Amino acid sequence: MRILIAEDDDSLALGLSRILQADGHAVDVMRDGEHAALAVRQEHFDLLILDIGLPGIDGFEVLRRLRAEQRTMPVMMLTARDAVNDRVRGLDLGADDYMVKPFAIPELAARARALLRRSQSQAGPQRVHGPLVLDVLARRAFLNGTPLELVAREWAVLEILLARVDQVVSKEHIIQSMAAWDEALSVNAIEVYVSRLRSKLEPAGLRIRTVRGFGYLFEAWVAPNAVTVNEDGSNGAD
């Protein structure tokens, strides 16, 4: 998952980033409201952790703009002000959770995981593609019913490709989806992860095709005994 932290307290942002990255998430940090609002508009994030007291436009305005643009990502708001009116205002604007400083970072991380699980469950907990099943909530993969061992980066690439079956996905899009903005992730690294996925998936008839100059295409699943139909109405069997 990709998470944006909008927080101007560097030590707090660093602590949150480290614990969320340890959970396997890509994390970006913005330190003012304008840049946070711009980041949400330009990129895809699965969760926004949003401080109210940001320089420039405050967290309330960032949230208002986000919801006005029909962006439905979960938002957790942070504030140093323990005022009922502030909490009510944030929730009315569309916040999904609210924490008052000071708080324990592990608790915030646990709440973030809960919001991500809730968001994923609404989209459906499993992704099925022929013999391949991805359990998004449990972060487990199965191939023909057998557990498929994937490292975190292989999982991330597979999830991105599986979301766009039969569509070309550029290497740049994969990098952008996987990596935080300050994290180096090369095209060569993506090629390595795709190569590893191919070695694990192709024996089951699942193919990731390279489209030269463009990227990768995860081909639609066709059962081994499926009969293709030609334009003239005849089948493709000999």
Q: DSSP label at 164?
A: T
CATH number listed for the domain at residues 126-218: 1.10.10.10
What residue type is assigned to position 196 of the chain?
Answer: R
Query: How many whole angstroms separate alpha carbon 226 and alpha carbon 237?
Result: 10
Q: Which tens digit of pLDDT belongs to each residue from 94-117?
A: 999 999 888 888 898 889 888 887
| Other Cβ atoms within 10 Å of 215 Cβ, number | 20
Q: Domain ranges for the chain, please list them.
A: 2-122, 126-218
**120 vs 204 pLDDT, higher one:** 204
Q: Does the domain formed by 2-122 have CATH 3.40.50.2300?
A: yes
Out of 41-45, 139-143, 202-206, give the one with best mean pLDDT: 202-206
Conformational region of residue 76, where left means phi above 0, alpha means psi within -120 to 50, and beta covers everything else:
beta
| Other Cβ atoms within 10 Å of 121 Cβ, number | 11
Residue closest to 211 by CA, chosen among 171, 152, 165: 171
Residue closest to 73 by CA, chosen among 136, 124, 118: 118
Main-chain dihedrals φ then ψ at residue 150, nearest 5 degrees: -135, 135
pTM of the full structure: 0.60
């359990």: which residue's tokens? 135
Q: Which tens digit of pLDDT belongs to each residue from 68-95?
A: 988 888 999 998 877 788 888 888 999 9
